[in-house]
Chain A
Amino acid sequence: MLAYTIRRVLVSIPVLLVASMIVFALSLFTGDPVQEKYAGRNPPPPPQTIANERHRLHLDDPIVVQYWNWLKNLLLHGDWGPSITSETNIGHELSHRLLVTTRLVLAAMIVALVLAVISGVLSATRQYSKLDYAFTFSGFVFLSMPAFWAAQLLKTGAVGYNEATGTRLFFTIGERSTDPPPGLWNTITDVFGHLVLPTISLALITYAGWSRFQRSSMLEVLNSDYVRLARAKGLSPRKVLLRHGLRTALIPMTTISALTIATIIGGAVITETVFQWNGMGSFLIKSIGARDRYAVMGWLLVSGFFVVVGNLVADILYGVLDPRIRYDS
């Protein structure tokens, strides 16, 4: 397993390198960032300002030199390169935003996972019952609902609740209040009030897909020979369901969760935008808009890293959970 893990990590390095080269080369086609930054200013910025800015962003070097310097400085000095906004430190920005997104994603994923497993199991064990139809219906509703619309509906409902009760339990923008009221309890309610809507919004959409997955996985297991054997041996239905059925049916769920979380850490773009969280997704969107080449490169490496790690974790978990799979044999 260790050799397999090391091999996978080593293979991922050239993958990330090639991806970074491609993105760097593609950024050439997005236009001159300095020219676009000062587009249409009147009077136009002095030539000195434009020259200084081009120099700061290394735009006066050939593209290959630019890439090489970026890579060298990143590997040797941990320097992620200059941002189009001179005061932005890309490294700090990425680490901060990664935390913000992780907080959002993990909370949402836990909620989604719990809901998906419960509804998937109930649907499978009571296939074609009213409950199954209800879960199926709600799953498809959330699947087909555009994420931004679901988020706006939640906001409207929350604002309505606040108005009706004369309180402000729910907040619609940001991760926390700029100036929360003092006290531990107030801090907790403030964080909760900001977290609850984006969490539900992201969780509902993820839950919808996962619940369908869990249902079919569970159905497959429940109809398998060894479950039939377990029943025939006289094991209690509860034991059959939980120990023999669910345990096996969770294997594919585990893998898909690891993959999804890794991907979403790259940015829950819509949720972050609607709730104005400064996470990875909004960082990417903003960086692309500003033609902030090194910021996009930074995002690519971080999110690429998580996708690689997510894939690896999924594969390893698969090996751990499923005794039939042994990578080193």
Chain B
Amino acid sequence: MRTRSKGLGGFVAIAAASVLAIGACGTSGGNGGDKTAQASPGFAACEAKPNSCNSGPTKAGGSIVVALEKTLPNFNIFDGDGNTFETAQVMNGLVPSPFIAQPDNSVAWNQVLLSEEPKLTNKSPQTVVYKIKKEAVWDDGSPIDAKDFQLYWKLNNGKDCKDCSPAGTTGYELIKSVEGSDNDKTVTVTFSDTYPDWQGLFGLYPQHLAGDWSTPAGLAKAYEGFKATPTWSGWAYKFADYQKDVSVTLVPNPKFWGPKPALEKITFKVVEDQAQQLPAMKNKELQMLISQPNQDMVTQVQGMAGVNYNLSKGPTWEHIDLNNKNAALKDVALRQAIFTAVNRQAIIDKTVGAFFKGAAPLNNHNIMVGAPDYKDVITATGQGAGNVAKAKEILTAAGYKIDGGKLMGKDGTAVPQLRFRYTNGNQLRQQTAELFQSQMKEIGIDVKIDPTAKLGNTLSTGDYDIIVFAWVGTPFLGGSQDLWATDGGSNYDKYSNPDVDKLLKDASKELDPSKMRQELNQADEIMAKDANVLPLYQKPVFLAVYSDYINIRNNPTNAGPTYNIEQWGLKADSVK
């Protein structure tokens, strides 16, 4: 299902970080000993200091080859196709963005691009002011200014360019105007309605290379043009070479006004088969991996001499959903009993827990573990604990009976067989399905496992009783309405609760982040009691890099490890 390729609408900034990097830091290899060893010279400090671990002085020069697991569809990061994690990793080197998602899941304003922190100058109408540094220029010397913001808005708002196919219009469609002043170095963005996730907006592309974009046809042409191999840069690196489906090579942008980047060459090499990355890493054809790991990958990297690795909880979280289209599952008591009988720890132990010591049940539907205002709304309900006795109590109290190992409904007929769907070929989900099936046997529910090769179709048509898939968390929580509200575009289970709807709506209009999260937690408590979706765990993200490099660290948000690409380098001789 959806992996780290989605929700990159506002690019680096929106690249999300609903997850705090509480991850376990890895060991540099070569010892092949304790497979859960956590200390390493490079990443030992990451658990306590995710934003500053493995940092230090660099020496000039050097190069690095980084593996990408997917090819790059195009270079327009806000396009429906181009909006992937891999494209973002490359374009992080070129695209200036007002906010950058940090490894600890916070969002930091870009102090190289902007002269001061963007301010919310008015709440009604919501108005935000950005001040761009005077020295900020594209690599041809043209200024980075308000017109770049204007073009980005027009390409993404779904109104000005009907032939554009952006990945999302959220936020941009609520902007009323983008105006420049102070020689276009001050940008004032005014919204027609409240949009709390405003920090997730904008990643700039050069408007001066877009031709005449004053008409819809001109905008469409500009949109298409940005899909092509970039001949421009507004950040530390620029393209030197691109071989489709093979590699991208970046070299420093001489016009970059920030601190000079150390590495003189960064190559992203496409290696789509994860298993092939490992011998290539050992053979030093690759120096760095970014991956959603499996046990084999972690074990093998542990055995590689001179390689540091880091495992952190990622933004992708797995969950089990019950479909309200199924008449039997409409009964909240049955749903509660099912989730109470599910043993999440057993599922974790058999799946990601085998190689990720930090894996643990996730107990919130919106806010990831460690993020501000994360609240455990699940444990108190008793769900996910594998408590068969309590599940049976719930069922008995609601008039169900277990007769001859079969659960009989209130009307005396057997509860029908339930179809559990998972993505065909996804081993973790297959194991989850099998464990779920055996756990349900304990309360007399017959579960048929039925993999699907067409997950999109299965979800959109609601062709399941129970399903396991994943969402990607972000630090921008306004999208929660799409997931859980009655008319939410991604509410495939057709879950509906007016109280939840109201709280989610209030939260989506709340500019105070803390208050917003509290409203979401209130909604979440109701959702947990309604037992419609059971969060399982956050999947780990994995970074492995040779220990010669410094200032590289795992960023489990969608910004990815290249969020600070301009700081990467070889260790200065003084720190070796």
Instruction: Contact check, A36 vs B456: say whether CB atoms are below 8 A apart.
Output: yes
Minimum distance in angstroms from B345 CB to a CB of chain A: 26
Instruction: Contact check, B169 vs A278: say whether CB atoms are below 8 A apart.
Output: no
Q: Give complex CA distance A41, B471 in Å.
A: 8
Chain A: interface residue count, which band? 35 or more
Minimum distance in angstroms from B321 CB to a CB of chain A: 11
Q: Does B482 contact A (CB under 8 A)?
A: yes
Known A39-B456, A44-B490: A173·B483 in contact at CB below 8 Å: no
Residues of B within 8 A of A39 (CB): 1-2, 455-457, 459-460
Q: Give complex CA distance A52, B455 in Å.
A: 22
Chain B: CB-nearest residue to A97: B245
Residues of A within 8 A of B573 (CB): none
Known A40-B456, A86-B227: A172·B279 in contact at CB below 8 Å: yes
Instruction: Contact check, A36 vs B2: say whether CB atoms are below 8 A apart.
Output: no
Chain A 2-44 residues near chain B, CB threshold 8 A: 30-32, 35-44
Chain B: CB-nearest residue to A49: B165
Q: Give complex CA distance A293, B9 in Å.
A: 27
Minimum distance in angstroms from A172 CB to a CB of chain B: 5
Chain A 243-284 residues near chain B, CB threshold 8 A: 273-276, 278, 282
Minimum distance in angstroms from B6 CB to a CB of chain A: 5
Q: Give complex CA distance A226, B86 in Å.
A: 66
Instruction: Contact check, B158 vs A48: say whether CB atoms are below 8 A apart.
Output: yes
Q: Does B507 contact A (CB under 8 A)?
A: no
B interface footprint on A150-187 (CB within 8 Å = 1, 0 otherwise): 00100110110011000010111111001100000000
Q: Does B246 contact A (CB under 8 A)?
A: yes
Residues of B within 8 A of A323 (CB): none
Q: Give complex CA distance A158, B284 in Å.
A: 13
Minimum distance in angstroms from A114 CB to a CB of chain B: 28
Residues of A within 8 A of B122 (CB): none
Instruction: Contact check, B2 vs A172: say whether CB atoms are below 8 A apart.
Output: no
Chain A 178-212 residues near chain B, CB threshold 8 A: 178-179
Q: Give complex CA distance A37, B454 in Å.
A: 10
Chain B: CB-nearest residue to A31: B454
Q: Give complex CA distance A247, B483 in Å.
A: 72
Minimum distance in angstroms from A284 CB to a CB of chain B: 14
Residues of B within 8 A of A31 (CB): 453-454, 456-457
Q: Does B162 contact A (CB under 8 A)?
A: yes
Q: Give complex CA distance A53, B164 in Å.
A: 10
A42 is contacted by which of B7, B166, B246, B453 (Cβ under 8 Å)?
B7
Chain B: interface residue count, which band? 35 or more
Q: Does B513 contact A (CB under 8 A)?
A: no
Q: Does A225 contact B (CB under 8 A)?
A: no
Instruction: Contact check, A40 vs B455: say whether CB atoms are below 8 A apart.
Output: yes
Residues of B within 8 A of A45 (CB): 80, 165-168
Chain B: CB-nearest residue to A42: B490
Chain A: CB-nearest residue to B265: A179
Minimum distance in angstroms from A188 CB to a CB of chain B: 18
Q: Does A62 contact B (CB under 8 A)?
A: no
Q: Give complex CA distance A37, B457 in Å.
A: 10
Residues of B within 8 A of A43 (CB): 7, 168, 170, 479, 482, 489-490
Q: Give complex CA distance A278, B490 in Å.
A: 36
Chain B: CB-nearest residue to A89: B244
Residues of B within 8 A of A282 (CB): 272
Instruction: Contact check, B454 vs A162: say whether CB atoms are below 8 A apart.
Output: no
Q: Does A328 contact B (CB under 8 A)?
A: no
Residues of A within 8 A of B228 (CB): 87
Instruction: Contact check, B276 vs A172: say whether CB atoms are below 8 A apart.
Output: yes
Q: Does B271 contact A (CB under 8 A)?
A: yes
Q: Does B506 contact A (CB under 8 A)?
A: no
Q: Does A95 contact B (CB under 8 A)?
A: no
Chain B 149-185 residues near chain A, CB threshold 8 A: 158, 162-170
Known A42-B6, A42-B482, A46-B158: A173·B280 in contact at CB below 8 Å: yes
Q: Give complex CA distance A90, B489 in Å.
A: 33
Instruction: Contact check, A171 vs B2: say whether CB atoms are below 8 A apart.
Output: no
Chain B 466-502 residues near chain A, CB threshold 8 A: 469-472, 479, 482-483, 489-490
B455 is contacted by which of A36, A159, A286 (Cβ under 8 Å)?
A36
Chain B: CB-nearest residue to A53: B165
Q: Does B287 contact A (CB under 8 A)?
A: no
Minimum distance in angstroms from A73 CB to a CB of chain B: 20
Q: Does B283 contact A (CB under 8 A)?
A: yes
Q: Does B324 contact A (CB under 8 A)?
A: no
Minimum distance in angstroms from B8 CB to a CB of chain A: 10
Residues of B within 8 A of A170 (CB): 283
Known A43-B489, A46-B169, A168-B283: A85·B273 in contact at CB below 8 Å: no
Residues of B within 8 A of A159 (CB): 279, 282-283
Residues of B within 8 A of A174 (CB): 246, 269, 285
Residues of B within 8 A of A173 (CB): 269, 271, 276, 280, 285-286
A179 is contacted by which of B245, B249, B271, B469 (Cβ under 8 Å)?
B249
Minimum distance in angstroms from B286 CB to a CB of chain A: 8
Chain A: CB-nearest residue to B79: A86
A interface footprint on B191-212 (CB within 8 Å = 1, 0 otherwise): 0000000000000000000000
Q: Does B241 contact A (CB under 8 A)?
A: yes
Instruction: Contact check, B457 vs A42: say whether CB atoms are below 8 A apart.
Output: no
Instruction: Contact check, A276 vs B273: say whether CB atoms are below 8 A apart.
Output: yes
Chain B: CB-nearest residue to A283: B245
Residues of A within 8 A of B272 (CB): 276, 282, 286
Minimum distance in angstroms from A175 CB to a CB of chain B: 8
Minimum distance in angstroms from A83 CB to a CB of chain B: 10
Most chain A CB neighbours (cut-off 10 Å) among B73, B286, B455: B73
Q: Does B74 contact A (CB under 8 A)?
A: yes
* A to B CB contacts below 8 Å, 6 in the list: A31-B454, A38-B80, A38-B456, A39-B456, A85-B81, A159-B282
**Chain A residues at the B interface, C-beta cutoff of 8 Å:** 30-32, 35-46, 48-49, 52-53, 85-88, 152, 155-156, 158-159, 162-163, 168, 170-175, 178-179, 273-276, 278, 282, 286
Contacts beyond the supplied A39-B1, A286-B272: 7 A-B pairs with Cβ under 8 Å = A35-B460, A37-B81, A37-B456, A40-B456, A162-B283, A178-B65, A278-B246
